[in-house]
A and B are shown apart, each in its own frame.
Chain A
Amino acid sequence: DAKTTQPPSMDCAEGRAANLPCNHSTISGNEYVYWYRQIHSQGPQYIIHGLKNNETNEMASLIITEDRKSSTLILPHATLRDTAVYYCTSQRSGSRLTFGEGTQLTVNP
């Protein structure tokens, strides 16, 4: 599975959009991009995933560049409860899930 790179930390004001980037320049054609988040002392929570089209659900939007080498997770109106570590991972169907260090997002009042 491709290695992903994320900034270690980001800040966002409450009510604003949080845009979390992820680089996955070695991603292969059959690998999906997955996003999870982990609020302190809890288990990881699935957010969204995509292959090449942009995706949206009730939690977030995922924008994948046309060359698929990077993606952005968008939380359109961040709240204090969105403060968490966000993990971007690329994964072939059926392969093992791995997390890097992720991005610590802090939403400030």
Chain B
Amino acid sequence: DVKVTQSSRYLVKRTGEKVFLECVQDMDHENMFWYRQDPGLGLRLIYFSYDVKMKEKGDIPEGYSVSREKKERFSLILESASTNQTSMYLCASRGTVNTRSTDTQYFGPGTRLTVL
């Protein structure tokens, strides 16, 4: 079974703090993703990475950065947390898109971040 883990299920931070969200996958997947999910707005892509040290902006990268130093680990960084970054953060991984089933994304359990 594919396993994607996230460092915290619940996190409470103060405005202006630097926040690290970590994600680890055990399937040797090349692609990893960070999303946020908000009521009424659905799933929105923040950043993704298709290889170690490679990253691409998603639809809402402002206020976020990412790091991928190892294939299995993808970190999301909030440089200076703000209240509008209160959300559910979801990490996902996906294998190389060259076989029938590798568009499937496998999600972690999510981190519910509250910024006060």
A98 to B43, CA, bound (A): 6
A45 to B33, CA, bound (A): 15
A84 to B68, CA, bound (A): 32
**Contact between A46 and B109, CB atoms less than 8 A apart:** no
Distance in Å: Cβ of B8 to nearest Cβ of chain A: 13
B69 within 8 A of A: no
**Contact between A44 and B103, CB atoms less than 8 A apart:** no
**Contact between B104 and A49, CB atoms less than 8 A apart:** yes
> Which of A32, A97, A100, A101 has the most chain B CB within a 10 Å cutoff?
A97
Render A70-100 as a binary contact track against B, CB cut-off 8 A, 1 for contact.
0000000000000000000001011011111
Distance in Å: Cβ of A57 to nearest Cβ of chain B: 11
Residues of B in contact with A (beta carbons under 8 Å apart): 4, 33, 40, 42-43, 45, 58-59, 90-92, 97, 101, 103-110, 112
